[in-house]
Chains A and B, each alone.
Chain A
Amino acid sequence: MAAHRCRNLACLLLLFLSVFLVTMSQETTLGHEQHATAVGDPQTGAETKHTAEKPRVEEKRWEETKVKATTQASDTAVLTKTQVNEDFQEELVIRPLHSGDIYASFQFRTVWETDFMKGNKVSHYRLFPKSLGQVISKFSVRELHISFTQGYWRTMQWGQPFIPSPPGAELWVWFQDSVTDVDATWKELTNVLSGIFCASLNFIDSTNTLQPSASFKPLGIGNETDHRFLRYATLPREIVCTENLTPWKKLLPCGSKAGLAVLLKSEKLFHSSFHSQSVHIRPVCQDRQCKSSSWELRQALNVVFDLHTSGQSKREWSLFKMFSRTLTEACPLASSSKIYIDVTDNPQEEQFELSPATPLLSQAVVLGDRRTFSVYDLTQQVTFGTVRSLNLMIRWKSSEGDMLRPLLHAERYVAGYGLQTGEIHTLMYNNHPFRSFPVLLLDSVPWYLRLYIHTLKVISKGKDNNPSYIHYQPSKDRERPHLLEMLLQLPPHSVTEVTVQFERALLKWTEYTPDPNHGFYVGSSVISSLVPSTVAMETNITMEQPLFSSFFPCKEESSYFARVYTEPLLVNLPTPDFSMPYNVICLTCTVVAVGYGSLYNLLTRSFQVEEPNPGLAKRIANVIRRMRGVPPL
């Protein structure tokens, strides 16, 4: 899925042709829908015809921008060669949620056709951040995914996110197969990233690093799937805040000066129910034949604003209310800059009202569903209207807060009481009415919870559910965590429960954290799955798609890839009372000294009845006798 940037006429022609094809296909699908609705209601039929024409208008505009981009490229072509192959796109998706909350997802993508490997020293950077480029070349990184999340994504209320992430920090990296000492490289890489993102990634060590065998496959191109070159780690305790946002924003070509990034103000972003920011680097194909590859840097930021805590009486959202900024321009470096509003559930504006209205509609297949979006193209001056600023408004009309029933969701908890043993329960729900689907469960448990793997039970619908694949790596104390990977088939409309018992280890006293009574974190389980899709998925990854629908590559049409993270666990370990070490030392010393000493005495001494002491008179007599030199009495 590379950008349509051309350098010669042949390419341009090809592009026209493909765009034309896309338009045709969209028109045909729309045509079907139009027919269906037209039968139901002739009045709306007319309207749909109206909307059916809109995409064509929009497509025309896309064409225009393409031409414009090409001319821009030819203008700058006099500069260096490498600059030409760079492309930057930015987009914001806003999805009003049933609960009245609002989900905003930013994605920024930089694609650069270059080669960091094979001793090729890249020193000229334009859009691609130099700090990350150096990381890629120095550590021979093939793929890098890092996310920082504050909060837990509530699948039951919000549905699936575009890019899922677990609470805390998550980092997974595929190294090139040329790397000889992967562990050392990984260690160094985490320390470097820790500096770049101002995060405690340096706490990643062998006790929380995993090598999953199946759950994390490369998302970019590449056939190498030997998991020796994969490292995965999570830090569930990591707190994400402004100091992580600032370095993240600095990686953007426009910084937070222009474009969509002006909305990223920390005082609002961290006044929300959920905040997640991530960076994904991977090699991608440039065209359909995949003859040449380029590097893609995706920066994503997801945030969910809460209706209740925003302290408003009316159910109303606007860009200004969410971000305390409005938009005035696109990032000048961006080839595309768009805002998508999900209006699928709102075809007749019966749920919410959107202003200013936009003539552009777009459809995309995302997460197994065909969604309709209103599109605002920021590269067009007309979008900003006469006031030269765009402040989108969403006014809710109805209010309903029912729970969703997403096809796949999961939860996890610790059962039992007391500080000796416990049981981890992981529940996975398949809410599909008639189709079963496979999931890969990845569980990583720190070594200080000693799993009793013989108690592992997988039960769905009251029956044992035998995993078709199990990869278990036992922990080593103070060296590596437990790793449990299972391939399970979730029966339709069922709950599958995975339980395993554990024992809590007593740590050495220096191994406790400064706040041991808070508890110890166990990272989220990762559930990766191919969920049955309701519409045909787009398998052509090079086709022009909105960014939010093109993150996970899709291999088949009937299902889509989804990843679900469970909540992390907080487990209390047996903790000594650190507040009275003095008392403890005194007591143990006394007990040892008194108890041991006297026992030792009693055991080793031979007791003899002492002769009775001579009387005082006798003693005096003896003294006198000694003075006289006579033997004593």
Chain B
Amino acid sequence: MGLLSDPNRRQALIKLLTRLNAPICFVCYFAGVAWFMGLAFEPFTLRTYMSENAMGSTMVEERFPAGERALATGREFAAHKKKVGGMPVDWLVKTMQARGLEVFTQSFSRTLPFPDENTERYVVKGTNVYGILRAPRAPRTEALVLSAPCTPGDNNNQAVGLLLGLAHYFRNQVYWAKDIIFLVNEHDLIGMQAWLEGYHHTNVTGMDWSPLQGRGGSIQAALSLELSSDVVTSLDIVLEGLNGQLPNLDLANLFYAFCQKIGVLCTIQGKLQRNDWDSASGYNHAVQTMMLMVMKQASGRPWGDHGLFLRYHIEAATVKGVNSFRHYKTDATTIGRLLEGMYRKLNNLLERLHQSYFFYLLPSLSHFVSIGYYMPAFGLLAVILLLRALDLWVQLSAQPSRTEDGVAGTEQSNPGVLSVLTPLVISHLTGAALYMLPVRFQEVAVEHFPVSETEAVVLTAIAVYTAGLALPHNTHRLLSGEGTEMGWRVLKLVALLYLAVLLGCTAVINFSLGFILALTLVPAAAYVTPHVPKALSAFFLVALSPACTLLFSVFFFQELQEMPVSFQDGWLLYLSVIAQGMLDHYLYGSLVFPLVALLVYPCWLLFWNILFWK
């Protein structure tokens, strides 16, 4: 650090950085993107390995025999479900009791802030049924959870059947050291949320639920099972949870290890693993898998019932049975054996899963990218903001020295405080309006316009967002004097540092979200000044705004899933994604909507303000 204490060398370094600022920024940006794309290249990634000793070397045998019986139970469940027209609570209670479990129910109700058009629900009332297998000679301090959602229609009956079959089989075994909770939850995520809040006696989202009667201590791990056919061709594991949280990598390793052992095809993001990493298509495949994970993680929503467990520091994943047209089929007994093996290993755990990574990306199930490898990609993008800020700082500190003899220097910096503060406050107020208004004013909107509630909410959000673009005019009306050359520099300096901190914090919590936002916001932030061509830059800036990022992401996600959509459908999908994002926030406490509305959007408005600086 002699470099900094030596004024000459410091001067030289700063001179270099300011002179070569633009090229360095370009290089950093492309290096960041290239680094990120390189993460999916197999030779650059690590093989997954089991870190937890308790699950690694210990041998377990899988002997679950009763797959056919489980499917029969599933059919019986389906019949009762159809008869009752919902969750057959009484039948489930009786069946679980007959299997020797302690059975409890929990009822819950929730009125959504606005109707959910995807699943067609507004007022949700339901009941969760769960049975606890008490481990012999265990003091009720630890538990494992196996859950299966009771979904309307013909879906997921086999999952419930298999769950009951496993419960019956597990009950007759002697080796359990942890209680096992078998949960059938109604209204998928809402029911799961109610159960978890009831179990931990918290109320994060204002849901009504009846208190739980039976508990099994602190839950160590959970699996959610989704199975809608008697045979499957492959099993898919879903890891992305609420706010982009991921379970410990050892859980994915465990699943992968048992798929290998038992000989079941396993996928992640619905993509099979390929061995031809050195070919272009193989690399393409890995990139696709990883990008899907990044998109899903960035959305911040739980992609399965497991997603809500992660808030409570419970490692959880969803296992989905996929039945495609492949020749090779796996029956229910094999899936049962796989789950049995996983639970026996989890049962062996002495400590919570903590040995392996919590922050990772998976280009395939056998390879992973740890936080140490992917963070430089983000760092290269974030450093652009700091370089631009340094450049501005040098310019700002150089200016007064030039006008040192005159009085103008001190006068010029005075309106700076006000000219920075006003846009800052106004843009944040707009952000707050974007956060509050859509749900608050849905009734008003429905009265005056011929739209449904959901449409009203989404369109209000878009309207507020667009109205925010008029911000520069409002700011200028409030400001007494003319904006000065120095004023916008100070404002941009503040905005750059603000964005750097914001993206930095986001990336630490949810790398994918931080990276995607950085990918679009950083060029805009680096480029914008009042002296660039207005119309073109305005278009450029809008195209890089958070809302458009979301729009591109929707199309890109569809493209990755190999289900491209037309622009019309894409637009509709975009509207429903906005509604879904808000619902995720109000129902499960997802933080992406408030983050974008209250922080990212105001920050972007600051740059918009700089563009129209007078």
Q: What residue in chain B is nearest A518 (Cβ atoms)?
A: B351
> Can you list, as one digit per residue, whether each of A404-435 has a CB less than 8 Å from chain B (1) or not (0)?
00000001011111110001010000000000
The answer for the CA separation of A579 and B250 in the assembled complex, in Å, is 15
Shortest distance from the beta carbon of A205 to any chain B beta carbon, whole Å: 22
Q: Is A503 in the interface zone, CB < 8 Å from B?
A: no
Determine whether the beta carbon of B351 is less than 8 Å from that of A415: no
Determine whether the beta carbon of A413 is less than 8 Å from that of B215: yes
The answer for the CA separation of A168 and B141 in the assembled complex, in Å, is 12
The answer for the CA separation of A487 and B216 in the assembled complex, in Å, is 28
Query: Which listed residue (B102, B139, B200) contacts A417, Cβ 8 A?
Result: B200
CB neighbours (8 Å) of B350 from chain A are 515, 518
CB neighbours (8 Å) of A307 from chain B are 100
Query: Which listed residue (B8, B139, B354) contacts A236, Cβ 8 A?
Result: B139
Q: Is B563 in the interface zone, CB < 8 Å from A?
A: no
Q: Is B134 in the interface zone, CB < 8 Å from A?
A: yes
Q: Is A384 in the interface zone, CB < 8 Å from B?
A: no
Shortest distance from the beta carbon of B226 to any chain A beta carbon, whole Å: 25
**Given A308-B172, A570-B141, do A417 and B313 touch, yes or no (CB 8 Å)?**
yes
Determine whether the beta carbon of A517 is less than 8 Å from that of B1: no
CB neighbours (8 Å) of A272 from chain B are 136-137
The answer for the CA separation of A418 and B313 in the assembled complex, in Å, is 7
CB interface residues, A 572-615, toward B, < 8 Å: 572, 575, 577, 579, 594, 597-598, 601-602, 605, 607, 609-610
Q: Is B69 in the interface zone, CB < 8 Å from A?
A: no
Q: What residue in chain B is nearest A403 (Cβ atoms)?
A: B102
> Can you list, as one digit per residue, whether each of A341-356 has a CB less than 8 Å from chain B (1) or not (0)?
0000000000000000
Main SS class of interface, B: loop
CB interface residues, B 131-178, toward A, < 8 Å: 134, 136-142, 171-174
Determine whether the beta carbon of A417 is less than 8 Å from that of B7: no
CB neighbours (8 Å) of A203 from chain B are none
Q: Is A271 in the interface zone, CB < 8 Å from B?
A: yes
> Can you list, as one digit per residue, whether each of B1-40 has a CB less than 8 Å from chain A (1) or not (0)?
1001101100000000000000000000000000000000
**Given A308-B100, A602-B4, do A519 and B137 touch, yes or no (CB 8 Å)?**
no
Q: Is B122 in the interface zone, CB < 8 Å from A?
A: no
CB neighbours (8 Å) of B97 from chain A are 401
CB neighbours (8 Å) of B172 from chain A are 308-309, 311
Q: Is B537 in the interface zone, CB < 8 Å from A?
A: no
**Given A271-B174, A415-B200, do A605 and B5 touch, yes or no (CB 8 Å)?**
yes
Query: Which listed residue (B1, B218, B352, B355) contacts A414, Cβ 8 A?
Result: B218
Query: Which listed residue (A306, A417, A579, A610) contacts B312, Cβ 8 A?
Result: A417
Q: What residue in chain B is nearest A499 (Cβ atoms)?
A: B201
CB neighbours (8 Å) of B351 from chain A are 515-518
Determine whether the beta carbon of B200 is less than 8 Å from that of A570: no
Shortest distance from the beta carbon of A160 to any chain B beta carbon, whole Å: 18
CB neighbours (8 Å) of B136 from chain A are 151, 272-274, 306, 309
Q: What residue in chain A is nearest B218 (Cβ atoms)?
A: A570
CB interface residues, B 288-338, toward A, < 8 Å: 311-313
Q: Is A150 in the interface zone, CB < 8 Å from B?
A: yes
Interface centre among A414, A423, A569, A570, by most chain B C-beta atoms within 10 angstroms, is A570
> Can you list, as one digit per residue, whether each of A210-229 has a CB less than 8 Å from chain B (1) or not (0)?
00000000000000000000
Determine whether the beta carbon of A168 is less than 8 Å from that of B139: yes
Q: Is B202 in the interface zone, CB < 8 Å from A?
A: yes
The answer for the CA separation of A275 and B100 in the assembled complex, in Å, is 20
Q: Is A152 in the interface zone, CB < 8 Å from B?
A: yes
CB interface residues, A 272-291, toward B, < 8 Å: 272-275
Q: Is B217 in the interface zone, CB < 8 Å from A?
A: yes
Q: Is A622 in the interface zone, CB < 8 Å from B?
A: no
How many of B's residues come within 8 Å of A, CB to CB?
Answer: 34
Determine whether the beta carbon of A567 is less than 8 Å from that of B141: yes
Q: What residue in chain A is nearest B133 (Cβ atoms)?
A: A308
The answer for the CA separation of A151 and B138 in the assembled complex, in Å, is 4
Q: What residue in chain B is nearest A274 (Cβ atoms)?
A: B137
Determine whether the beta carbon of B7 is less than 8 Å from that of A607: yes
CB interface residues, B 340-381, toward A, < 8 Å: 350-352, 354-355
CB interface residues, B 54-100, toward A, < 8 Å: 97, 100
Determine whether the beta carbon of B5 is less than 8 Å from that of A570: no
Q: What residue in chain B is nearest A524 (Cβ atoms)?
A: B139
Query: Which listed residue (B1, B139, B218) contacts A152, Cβ 8 A?
Result: B139
Shortest distance from the beta carbon of B407 to any chain A beta carbon, whole Å: 27
The answer for the CA separation of A616 and B350 in the assembled complex, in Å, is 72
Shortest distance from the beta carbon of B387 to any chain A beta carbon, whole Å: 20
Q: Is A154 in the interface zone, CB < 8 Å from B?
A: yes
The answer for the CA separation of A167 and B135 in the assembled complex, in Å, is 13
**Given A417-B202, A579-B355, A601-B1, do A610 and B139 touch, yes or no (CB 8 Å)?**
no
The answer for the CA separation of A586 and B105 in the assembled complex, in Å, is 52
Shortest distance from the beta carbon of A152 to any chain B beta carbon, whole Å: 5
CB neighbours (8 Å) of A419 from chain B are 313
Shortest distance from the beta carbon of A511 to any chain B beta carbon, whole Å: 17
**Given A152-B138, A594-B1, do A609 and B202 touch, yes or no (CB 8 Å)?**
no
CB neighbours (8 Å) of A152 from chain B are 138-140
**Given A309-B172, A417-B313, A601-B5, do A150 and B140 touch, yes or no (CB 8 Å)?**
no
Q: Is A551 in the interface zone, CB < 8 Å from B?
A: no
Determine whether the beta carbon of A411 is less than 8 Å from that of B5: no
> Can you list, as one digit per residue, whether each of A297-323 has a CB less than 8 Å from chain B (1) or not (0)?
000000000111101000000000000
The answer for the CA separation of A516 and B355 in the assembled complex, in Å, is 12
CB neighbours (8 Å) of B173 from chain A are 309
The answer for the CA separation of A579 and B351 in the assembled complex, in Å, is 14
CB interface residues, B 528-581, toward A, < 8 Å: none
Determine whether the beta carbon of A151 is less than 8 Å from that of B137: yes
Binding site for B on A (CB under 8 A): 150-152, 154, 156-157, 167-168, 236, 270-275, 306-309, 311, 401, 403, 411, 413-419, 423, 425, 515-519, 521, 567-572, 575, 577, 579, 594, 597-598, 601-602, 605, 607, 609-610
- Please name the 5 residue pairs, one residue from A and one from B, whose CB atoms are nearest each other, closest first: A598-B1, A167-B139, A415-B201, A517-B351, A151-B137
Can you give 7 contacting A-B residue pairs, CB < 8 Å? A168-B139, A273-B137, A419-B313, A515-B351, A572-B352, A602-B4, A607-B7
Besides A417-B313, A568-B141, 4 other CB < 8 A contacts? A157-B102, A413-B215, A417-B311, A519-B141
Binding site for A on B (CB under 8 A): 1, 4-5, 7-8, 97, 100, 102, 134, 136-142, 171-174, 200-202, 215, 217-218, 311-313, 350-352, 354-355
